Structure 1
Amino acid sequence: MSFSFCPHCGTKLQPDFRFCPSCGEKIPCPVDSPGPAVDAAPGRGGDSMFSSSTHNPNGGSSSTSGTVEISTRPPLRKTTRGSVRLVHEETSPFTVASTPVSDDNTVLYTSPVKPRKVTWNLREEMESALESSSPPVSRSPRSVMGKEKASKRGHPLKQQDGEQKLTDRTFSNEEDMLVDSSSTSLQCSPSSRSPSRGQLQCSPSSRSPSRGQLQCSPSSRSPSRGQLQCSPSSRSPSRGKGKAKKNKRIVNALEPLQEGEELTDTTGRKWRLMKLLSQSATELFYEVASVSGSKGSSHVLKLGAKDGRIFNEQNFLQRAAKPSSVDKWKKRLKMDFLGIPSCVGFGLHADNYRFLVFPNMGQPLQSTMEEEDLLPEKVILHLACTILDVLEYIHSNEYVHGDIHAENVYITLDEHSQVYLAGYCHAFRYCPGGQHVEYREASRTPHEGAMEFISLDSHKGAGPSRRSDLQSLAYCLLRWHTGTLPWTALTNADQIAKEKHRYMDDVSALLSHCFGKKRVSAALQTYLTSVMALDYSETPDYTGLKAGISGALLQLGGSLEQPLHF
């Protein structure tokens, strides 16, 4: 049985086929020639769809003069993703041998000529199509990868019926180029700078009508042909609506709890609120009593937001201020008292509050400062020694306080005059695992803490270190004793930081501004000179600092064993 081949795709055909089963194209009808008929397909009565030549037994050869014009549109061949290959044929895809094979004038059909494959660029065809369409059409990658090719290397493609049909299929209507909105779609636009063929680059869409939609454009730096580079839309609201703005989390002031309400800590112990002692925007202090405990004991409950800074204080107290660790420290240094609060209970309440329970530590120094305008030098030196003891302990446990001021200092006004340093909401672990953190500005939120007393490190957003606590204590001592600092009247945080930087290297000018015409305390001058010269990670000489202050206290007739007199 003789076979023929489809002129469009090269598929082998049986003689009675009128349509190609592969590409679906109609097989051209044969044309009779005046010369000898060539039986191209047995049983078809000499019909032939090819130009052919036959052999004459007498030694001559005759060729058929009838030919059939075949569409020159090359067949589509699917290759890599995002590109199309067209087979360009310069001659008829099949030839017939001109040499006789047998004496009965049988024609020999040779194998098809191997077509020359040419890869076409998508860019020019896409540009022309998009320029003709207004507004730009959103297209799916399916229509890009299978149908567009524009020009051959060096010369444009001939506009014939076949390729016009291809163009119409690709760019005719918008519905064919859109993907169902339920799936992820791509919004494509060509780039005039795309050096590589068939490559698309996706960039975030500013007006993405549906969730998960991407906008694509040919990449100018595409490493390979047919590659898609996609990124999700930065503005991809659902259901075609504008993106709803995120509601900013507003931190409201804590609502006080009713007196008489009971709170239960993690151990099951219940605490009854007796009286509201003080209140701020982020903290409330209550006098509480244990429901099951003795009536004579007095405790203070600190109440804060569940996810507020009080959690940082709770973490510090559980890590660095365990009663066993404090007792061990006091025994090693032969101390009778260390002014660090002991947390006797903590827990959550009503899913909104977190609370800590402490023994009664007296009254805050701030309330005393409101009654007494200035503190005498003897009281200042006493406070400095006791606070330095606490700082040495917490520094040895890898933490710094980070927010020393009068509201975080508590004093029991009795015959013992015990001084506590509390308020560890801004405590910072400066030396985790024994490795000091590096100095990095803007690594934390700048200006955290009491603006007038925090160190320059905290102003710059660097993690506070040991020198930060000692410098903050120096500002406090000056303020409590003289009543002013060069930046006391300022409210702008940057201006305050600028003033502190100005006086950092000029301690004499700082003391002159604070004391005015009064006598400058030699003990405070020595202390300030030492702490202002410390490096960020330098270990302070706590023993030398306390020795200088306690020596000056003895010269004034005071001692740490005597009660404080304001």
Structure 2
Amino acid sequence: MKLSDNYLIIEQIGSGSFGDVYKGRDIKNNKDIAIKVENITKTKRIRHEYKVYKYLKENGVIEKVPKIVDYITTPKYNFMCMEMLGKSIDDIFNDLDRKFKIETVLKLGIDIVNIIKVIHKGGFIHRDIKPSNFMVGKEDSNKVYILDFGLAKKLYDNTGNHIRFREGRSMIGTVRYCSINMHLGLEPSMRDDLESVGYMLIYLAQGKLPWQGLKKTKDQSQVDCIGEVKMCTSLAKLCEGLPDCFKEYIIYTRKLKFDEQPDYEYLIKLFDKYLNLKDKENKYEWVDLEDNELKTTKNTIL
């Protein structure tokens, strides 16, 4: 199916709550691309995401995010054509029996904190940190990218001031990885992205989090149940069996003030110090695996 004179839509390769993603072809450049599609009568999340990518590019953020090839609108649909990446961290995690080696998680910690630093310095908070929103390169699977900026928000207003602190905010993002302050209804900021990264890394190292599988009760919603367990779980239990750097990471991110500039280098050094002690080569465990050693999964990149 032709999207325009420049692009072909080949097959669906993923889906999400806000639309679908297809494998496509850039006819002019003879390259595979990913095409995200949304029905404009339901949502305009891809339109927002395109504006975020455009703003980030204008502010010099080009290394850690997929390249946007084109944006096309029709009376019924919005299409965003973007660089084709490899598998998501979530897909690889499932392929490797839902637990990464500690060296892999430490390296992810270093790479992802660096990515978040770049996004924050580019003027945005992501607000939906989760394994499926990080992908590896198609040609270089040792390189990690962040994507899906449909829920991203500007950090600063038009006068350059930090967004205002507000209470009574609705939950946004993926509840499993949301910060405690987001459960309390506080406006998310840089600290919340980083706290979410911490929970995601612990999940990838442990294979689970203490608040997974909870259901709503007569008196509490599922979100409230998860929030209560998240607040009541000790760091000793949360980080059981893991190097101290994970506990120190969570302690630091939870102590950050709403508009405080995080010390990203401190967080990177927490992981880097332990990784150096392990004296392992600087590549992910999946890099040398053949394609047939990884299960076949469809990426969900929306």
TM-score of the pair, normalised by structure 1:
0.46
Q: Which has the higher helix share?
A: 2
Is 1:402 equivalent to 2:117 in the alignment?
Answer: no
Tell me how far 1:462 sits from its aligned partner.
Answer: 3.1
Structure 1 residues 550 and 305 mapped into 2: Cα distance closer, same or farther (>3 Å)? farther
Once the two structures are superposed, what CA deviation does each residue of 1:34-60 show, in whole Å capped at 9, x if it has no partner? xxxxxxxxxxxxxxxxxxxxxxxxxxx
Residue number in structure 2 paired with 1:535 = 257
Separation in 2, partners of 1:536, 1:559:
37
Work out whether residues 313 and 424 of structure 1, in 8 Å CA contact, stay in contact via their aligned partners in 2: yes
Tell me how far 1:563 sits from its aligned partner.
Answer: 4.5
Structure 1 residues 312 and 277 mapped into 2: Cα distance closer, same or farther (>3 Å)? same
What SS does the aligned partner of 1:404 have?
Answer: coil
Separation in 1, partners of 2:193, 2:65:
15
Separation in 1, partners of 2:186, 2:49:
20
* Counterpart residue type for residue 508 of structure 1: A
Tell me how far 1:391 sits from its aligned partner.
Answer: 0.8
Tell me how far 1:308 sits from its aligned partner.
Answer: 2.6
Identity of aligned residues (%): 21
Residue number in structure 2 paired with 1:430 = 155
Residue number in structure 1 paired with 2:293 = none
Structure 1 residues 402 and 411 mapped into 2: Cα distance closer, same or farther (>3 Å)? same
Separation in 1, partners of 2:140, 2:6:
32
Is 1:454 equivalent to 2:189 in the alignment?
Answer: no
Is 1:508 equivalent to 2:236 in the alignment?
Answer: yes
Separation in 1, partners of 2:273, 2:197:
18
Is 1:379 equivalent to 2:100 in the alignment?
Answer: no
Once the two structures are superposed, what CA deviation does each residue of 1:220-242 show, in whole Å capped at 9, x if it has no partner? xxxxxxxxxxxxxxxxxxxxxxx
Is 1:300 equivalent to 2:37 in the alignment?
Answer: no
* Counterpart residue type for residue 321 of structure 1: K
Residue number in structure 2 paired with 1:525 = 247
Tell me how far 1:413 sits from its aligned partner.
Answer: 6.7
Pairing 1:66-465 to 2, within 5 Å after superposition: 260=1, 262-264=2-4, 270-294=6-30, 297-306=31-40, 307-322=43-58, 325-326=60-61, 338-349=63-74, 351-372=75-96, 373-412=98-137, 417-432=142-157, 433-442=159-168, 444=169, 446-465=170-189
Structure 1 residues 483 and 416 mapped into 2: Cα distance closer, same or farther (>3 Å)? closer
* Counterpart residue type for residue 494 of structure 1: D
* Counterpart residue type for residue 345 of structure 1: D
What SS does the aligned partner of 2:23 have?
Answer: strand
| Backbone CA RMSD of aligned residues | 2.1
Once the two structures are superposed, what CA deviation does each residue of 1:297-319 show, in whole Å capped at 9, x if it has no partner? 22111112324322221121111
Is 1:554 equivalent to 2:276 in the alignment?
Answer: yes
Separation in 2, partners of 1:313, 1:379:
29
Structure 1 unmatched runs, 5+:
1-259, 328-337
Residue number in structure 2 paired with 1:217 = none
Separation in 1, partners of 2:203, 2:19:
25
Tell me how far 1:428 sits from its aligned partner.
Answer: 1.3
TM-score of the pair, normalised by structure 2:
0.84
Work out whether residues 339 and 390 of structure 1, in 8 Å CA contact, stay in contact via their aligned partners in 2: yes
* Counterpart residue type for residue 300 of structure 1: A
Once the two structures are superposed, what CA deviation does each residue of 1:96-145 show, in whole Å capped at 9, x if it has no partner? xxxxxxxxxxxxxxxxxxxxxxxxxxxxxxxxxxxxxxxxxxxxxxxxxx
What SS does the aligned partner of 2:176 have?
Answer: coil
Kindly indicate whether structure 1 or structure 2 has the higher relative contact order, using CA contacts under 8 Å at least 6 residues apart: 2
Separation in 2, partners of 1:305, 1:382:
38
Separation in 2, partners of 1:455, 1:563:
27
Structure 1 residues 556 and 283 mapped into 2: Cα distance closer, same or farther (>3 Å)? farther
Residue number in structure 2 paired with 1:498 = 228
Separation in 2, partners of 1:346, 1:457:
35
Total equivalences in the alignment: 277
**Which has the greater radius of gyration?**
1
